[in-house]
Structure 1
Amino acid sequence: MNKYWEIISKSYSDYWNYLKQSVLFELNWENYFYGLIIISLVVWGLEIAFPWRKNQSIFRKDFWLDTFYMFFNFFLLNLIVLIALSNTTAEAFNSVLGIFGLSITNFQLFDINTFPYWLRIAIFFIVIDFVQWYTHTLLHKYEFLWNFHKVHHSVKEMGFAAHLRYHWMEPVVYKSMKYIPLAIMGGFTAQDVAIVHFFNIVIGHLNHANINWDYGYLKYILNNPKMHIWHHAKELPEERRNGVNFGITLSIWDYLFKTNYIPHSGRDIEIGFEGDEQFPNDFLHQELYPLGKKNAS
């Protein structure tokens, strides 16, 4: 038990130091704090310069709530619980494997660090994006998970910051699903993770932004605002009731697995979900909402 307390304590101290170094400009390329701010300001500027829904306010509905979610989920959540939970879970998993004389390295099929740099980044990005796409489909398929995911779909006007409005349970699910694939491929450097993560943030912000872009032929590869708006559509055909356009960064998975759906311009469609009129409007009650539901998978 002492071992786990040490892991928890070190997780808190390490992440606090990292966060402090980020704010004080003591980090360079791995500075997510100012990286997020810069990306957000640039995409917000694009929304202002090239609005798709021209009657939507610059400070749209729930703008400040989503801004709070953005910083809470990206930084404070890690400090409060996520890093400590991740590290202790990994240790517990390794301990269980140890009972059977195994370790996480037994699952490693190859060491991706022996690959050329460009190939290592490409494989890491593609594999992680597919796992996230599949995980996203599960959030819509099972009622238990959907009740957590409703927080993200409670957005009523799309804008860049809506990208990071989600319940704290979601990253727990995503990280759990990514654990084994990452173990199979071996380790990645912090710089690898930062490059992919920053790219995903840019595309995720753009997907939710009030921008009239679909990237031309690249729309079949990259998720985009005109595609993602339909993921948030309040009304979908019965055969699509479990959702559409699940892509996180890449749209190609939706085209490959026939979950793509763009019947027409979605500029003025209503977004949300059935019954969202009764969904809480504030952060605390949105976070507590799934815990009060009687879920059935």
Structure 2
Amino acid sequence: MEKYLKIFKDSYHGYFNYLWNEITHFHWENYFYGLILVSLIVWVLELLFPWRKNQKVFRKDFWLDTFYMFFNFFLLNLIVLIFLSNATAELFNDLLGMVGLELLDFQLLDLDALPFGLGLLIFFLVTDFVQWNTHRLLHYSPFLWNFHKLHHSVKEMGFAAHLRYHWMEPVVYKSILYIPLAIIGGFNVESVAIVHFSALAIGHLNHANLGWDYGFLKYIFNNPKMHIWHHAKVLPKHAQYGVNFGISLSVWDYLFKTNHIPHDGRDIELGFDGDENFPSKFISQELYPIKTKRRNSS
């Protein structure tokens, strides 16, 4: 227990110092100013090339989603995620040690031993494929869907809607992603930063008020015209759990037949069945899964 208390203390202290350093010092892997820069670029693209021309510049829930961007990208790490991540890693290593194993025993590939471009590509593909499957799980599991509803409560799409999600989601994503990334160890800071900012930019574009599909690249990269159907309130009868689960890449949806773009979805209604009863304020949205569980169990 003493070891985990130390992890708790070091996690908060270390991440606070990291966050303060990000805010006060600019560098090329700076996530704080990177988020601001990517957001401003995509927002300007929305203003220059709006798909839904009648949508206001400050669309419905624009400021709520902007708050979610900074809360989920930074404050959430400070509050809970860094400690949970570090504690989970240590717990997993302890469990392996009890049976005489180490994490290195599971490492099948060392990305550092590969040419940088190849290692980066493998890291990107593995990360995106695991996240695609995790995203499907958020829709197929009734328990997890209750948390994921927050992201699907968006009624007007814009770049900041990308990071409107419940704090439980990154816990699920990081937990499931931990072992695959341990198996392909050796990724460096540059690789993580490139993949992170690539996913951030693609995710912002997917949710932006843009009518792009990238031509033939639509079969590789997720895009606004494809992702709008993921947020459609009315789903096809053969796919009531959802469609177009791609995070950065659309290729997984085409390979596993979860793609669905029946026509131009510019003006389709967004949301989910019963979203008229979903809370509109931050705290109520965060507490929604807990309150719903209590109502269902009473």
1:174-213 residue pairs with structure 2 within 5 A? 174-213=173-212
Note the residue ranges of structure 1 that are not aligned, 5 or more in a row. Answer: none
Give the deviation of 1:293 after TM superposition: 2.3
Query: What is residue 22 of structure 2 aligned with on the other side?
Result: 22
Amino acid at match of 1:10: D
Q: For 2:84 and 2:191, how far apart are their aligned partners in 1?
A: 23
Q: Equivalents in 1 of 2:67, 2:74: separation in Å?
A: 11
1:147-204 per-position Cα deviation (integer Å, ceiling 9, x unaligned): 0000000000000000000000000000011111111111311111001100110000
| Map of 1:13 onto structure 2 | 13
- Count of aligned positions: 295
Q: Is residue 163 of structure 2 the alignment partner of residue 164 of structure 1?
A: yes
CA distance in 2 between counterparts of 1:191 and 1:6 reads 29
5 Å matches for 1:257-272? 257-272=256-271
Write out per-residue CA displacement over residues 125-159 of structure 1, whole angstroms, 9 at most, x where no aligned residue. 00000000000000000100000000000000000
Alignment of 1:58-137 (within 5 A): 58-137=57-136
* Partner secondary structure for residue 70 of structure 2: helix
Residues in 2 aligned to 1:158 and 1:275: alpha-carbon distance in whole angstroms: 19
Q: Which residue of the partner structure matches residue 48 of structure 1?
A: 47
Distance 1:288 1:156 in 2: 20
Partner residue in 1 for 2:154: 155
Query: Equivalents in 2 of 1:228, 1:215: separation in Å?
Result: 13
Which amino acid letter does the alignment assign opposite residue 70 of structure 1? M
Map of 1:274 onto structure 2: 273
- Aligned-residue sequence identity (percent) comes to 69
Q: Does 1:216 align with 2:229?
A: no
Distance 1:128 1:105 in 2: 19
- The residue that corresponds to 1:3 in the other structure is 3
Give the distance between the partners of 2:90 and 2:286, measured in 1 at CA.
27
SS at match of 1:240: coil
**What runs of 5+ residues in structure 2 fail to find an aligned partner?**
none
Aligned alpha-carbon RMSD (Å): 1.0
CA–CA distance in structure 1, aligned partners of residues 193 and 172 of structure 2:
20
Give the Cα–Cα distance (whole angstroms) in 2 for the partners of residues 156 and 292 of structure 1: 22
SS at match of 1:239: coil
Q: CA deviation at 1:53?
A: 0.1
2:238 aligned counterpart, secondary structure: helix
User: TM-score of the superposition, structure 1-length normalised?
Assistant: 0.98
How far apart, CA to CA, are the structure 2 residues paired with 1:165 and 1:45?
20
Give the match for residue 292 of structure 1: 291
Q: Report deviation, 1:20.
A: 0.6
TM-score by length of 2: 0.97
